[in-house]
Structure 1
Amino acid sequence: MMLAERNISYNSLLSYKRDLLDFQNFLQKNKLSEFNIVAENIRDWIEYLSQNNLTARSINRKISTIKGYYEFLISENHIKYNPTLMVELPKYKTKLPKILSIDEVKTLLNYCDHNKTASSIRLKAMVYLLYASGLRVSELITIKITDILINQSSDTIRKKERMTVINEKTIQTITEYLPIRNNFINKKNIKSATYLFPSISNEGHMTRQNFAILLKQIAIKAGLNPENISPHLLRHSFASHLLEGGANLRVIQELLGHADISTTQIYTHVQINHLKKAMTHHPLYNNNPTE
């Protein structure tokens, strides 16, 4: 399916692989070939998945994977018809991502700015970089020192097939952190020295779990609700705040590394939700206009 050529996260690749294997197993059980099935066979698979208690959201994701697979087969001239195109997908209510307000992000960043221990300086660099770039947390913790390019012509991060530009303030936090970076390197793990955020963990870098815990700890100290703070929520906030500021949706898609624009479009719904809440303050909202 040539997923490696697309901007897909490792976890997404695993999900797509499972989807394809599930589909192949269904075809084998029913003595069907992937090269000559029709829309009715796809509907049968949807029914089979539903009977196995899969949610509508999960079924839609699997069908999306199979649709992409058949598009690939068509591009390689193996088949001429995509059987998924005539199939109606199960309906489900889209769950909108939670985001932090800009003021909440500022509160978090301001707290980070006023702590000068080595661990705090490292955490500050990670928080600034995550919010400034919209990286996935898996990408953030595994950034290599060679992925960061800071020079007069380009301040960027290289991850997978995309590049992300970072702002001056974030560059300052990374520059402040770099002199103490060696303090965190796991001397027993040769790979540890290659990471921007090394640690004594077995992986050699800051772990996803530890970063999430540290983030909640500073949220508490900053007076924020730790239940509303997570690495992924900062990524959501990055995208939503860009859209709110007038950024083009296609640009946001590229920055987030979404393969499909429909994944990015969910942030437009978040903005509509915020606009609806803002409109509750309008005099006409309760049919009680001011004179």
Structure 2
Amino acid sequence: MRYLLAVDDPPEMLVFRPTETVVELPAPDRATEAAVRRSLGRRRPLRDPGADAVDRLDLLAEALTPELTALVVLWLGGTRRASRDTRIGYADDLLLWADWARTELGRERFGLDVQRGEVTMWLTCQQDAGAAASSISRRLSALSSLYRYAAGWGVPAVCPISDDDHRPKFHRGRRATSARVLDADQIEALLAAAGDVRDALIVGLLYTGALRVSELCGADDVDRHDEGRRTWLVVTRKGGNAVRVPLETTVAELLDLYRATRPVWNGAGPAPLIADAAGDRLDRHDVTRVLRRLARAAGIPRPQTIGPHSLRATAITDQKRRGHNAEDLQELSGHADVRTVMIYIDDDGRRERVAALTDDLGRVMTAVPRHLKSPGVS
């Protein structure tokens, strides 16, 4: 493991100098850094997608100033960011900010010195590139969260993000940029196209469990449990809560077959539930590539629009169409708010049903006098 702060012992205090004011912060200890490193996992560099996966924390250390890197370790190690998915999302968004600053502003290392006008430039670049309003909002939120954390330590860095100038307005219901929803026949086609047990297992877990990709990638081998005739998988939901989800019988059988042939794990800590060919933990990019490869093999139109969230949205939509209520779908999907479930439901018959409700309410309209409906008729 490569430590960010020192080869031997980390310093007791970290000097942070974004301005002339000197602010001393406690340096993250080795245990915190190791925990954040494990949580963030690995990914391929932004500018070299064909390269081998690298620890995200090492990518951050190369992209950020040393002082900000250490602050980010403390930030991501906090209990408010306990969810692995949240930590990975924040880390990836920071890498995007740093890449933009290097490309557009010529800054080798990213620090807390972004100006308000520069955020406006960034926003224009994002919009010109066709980034979704939801993605822009999330990336702004990541940076503003880091600025708030720094301010909590007394770092005199003013957040350059303005709610008036920079926050995009967007509708949070289903929209054109929402995950693509398939039908059950297309899910079957994905399974039929699988060339090995692992690929079929990925599709089965995501679909029958309506899992988030972070829940799938973050699961360890020790999270699988047998109880009676049912196999369960412990997954970590958003917010860091661990819950047990039931595994469908065939999916459980595929998991047993996969575990018998899974590459040997030589890393620290428990082995991942699903690994790549080298034995490393899968990330969401790996899963996306698997699904799009299967979609192409299955002949599904526009395979490039299919991702892990498509299977989750498809599962929720399928069960809604089959008559299950929103509360049960909330339990299946693990959403804290039942209203959020409706965002994932792409129900082709919804407009027709609403129209039918309107027609039914319209039964009172028979009371309208006939001559009003047909002027000139006595």
- The answer to whether structure 1 residue 231 and structure 2 residue 308 are counterparts is yes
Q: Distance in 2 between matches of 1:123 and 1:290?
A: 57
- Structure 1 counterpart of 2:55: none
- Give the structure 2 partner of residue 126 of structure 1: 202
Q: Quote the offset at 1:234 in angstroms.
A: 0.5
**Matching residue of 2:374:** none
Higher relative contact order (CA 8 A, sep 6+): 1
- Other-structure match for 1:144: 220
Question: Which structure is higher in helix share?
Answer: 1
Q: Which residue of 2 aligns with 1:46?
A: 119
Partner-residue secondary structure (3-state), 1:13: helix
**Structure 1 gap ranges (5+):** none
Distance 1:154 1:14, change over 3 A: same
Q: How many angstroms apart in 2 are the aligned matches of 1:55 and 1:118?
A: 35
- Tell me if structure 2 keeps the 8 A contact 1:20–1:65: no
Aligned to 1:163: 242
**1-side partners of 2:207 and 2:248: how far apart?**
13
| Aligned partner of residue 213 in structure 1, secondary structure | helix
Q: Which moved more, 1:76-85 or 1:64-73?
A: 76-85
Match of 2:325 in 1: 245
CA RMSD of aligned residues (A): 5.3
Task: Summarize the Cα distance change of 1:17–1:166 in structure 2 as closer, same or farther, 3 Å threshold.
Answer: same
Deviations 1:195-218 (A, max 9, x none): 43456x23557753335423654x
Per the alignment, residue 68 of structure 1 pairs with 145
Give the partner amino acid of 1:127.
V
1:202 matches 2:278: yes
Give, in angstroms, the shift of residue 277 of structure 1. Answer: 5.2
Show structure 2 runs of 5+ residues with no match: 1-71, 367-378
> Quick one: which amino acid aligns to residue 97 of structure 1?
S
Q: Deviation per CA, 1:92-111, whole angstroms, max 9, x where unpaired?
A: 6753424436xx33774699
**In 2 relative to 1, CA 60–249 (structure 1 residues): closer, same or farther, beyond 3 Å?**
farther
Cα distance in 1 for partners of 2:365, 2:328 equals 37
Question: Match of 2:178, SS?
Answer: coil
Q: Distance in 1 between matches of 2:347 and 2:329?
A: 14
Deviation at 1:28, TM superposition (A): 10
Q: Deviations over 1:227-266 (max 9, x none)?
A: 475433102334556887324999788x47x9xx9xx959
Q: Is the 8 A contact 2:220 2:272 kept in 1?
A: yes
**Quick check: 2:180–2:310 contact (8 Å CA) kept in 1?**
yes
The equivalent residue for 1:135 is 211
The answer to whether the 8 A contact 2:316-2:344 is kept is no
Residue 180 in structure 1 maps to residue 261 in structure 2: no
Alignment TM-score, normalising by the size of structure 1:
0.59
Report the equivalent of 1:100: 181
Across the two proteins, how many residue pairs are aligned to each other? 261
Q: Partners in 2 of 1:238 and 1:84 — Cα distance?
A: 37
The one of 337, 350, 354 aligned to 1:279: 354
SS of aligned partner of 1:194: coil
Equivalent residue runs for 1:72-83 within 5 Å:
72-78=149-155
Report SS of the residue matched to 1:166.
strand
Partners of 2:154 and 2:331 lie apart in 1 by 32
User: What whole-Å deviation, never above 9, does each CA across 1:102-143 have from its counterpart, x for those lacking one?
Assistant: xx337746996xx8x9945x5544323212444344653564
**1:174 shift after superposition:** 4.1
CA pair 178-28 structure 1, distance change in 2 beyond 3 A: closer
Aligned partners of 2:221 and 2:272 also within 8 Å? yes
Classify 1:150/1:131 alpha carbon distance in 2 versus 1 (closer, same or farther; 3 Å). same
Instruction: Output the amino acid matched with 2:121.
Output: Y
C-alpha distance in 2 between matches for 1:184 and 1:65? 39
TM (norm. structure 2) is 0.48
Query: CA, structure 1 residues 49+178, in 2 after alignment: closer, same or farther (shift >3 Å)?
Result: closer
The 1-side partners of 2:306 and 2:136 are apart by 29
Contact in 2 for aligned 1:125/1:174 (Cα 8 Å): yes
Secondary structure of the 2:234 match is strand
* Aligned sequence identity (%): 14
Q: Determine helix, strand or coil for the equivalent of 1:149.
A: strand
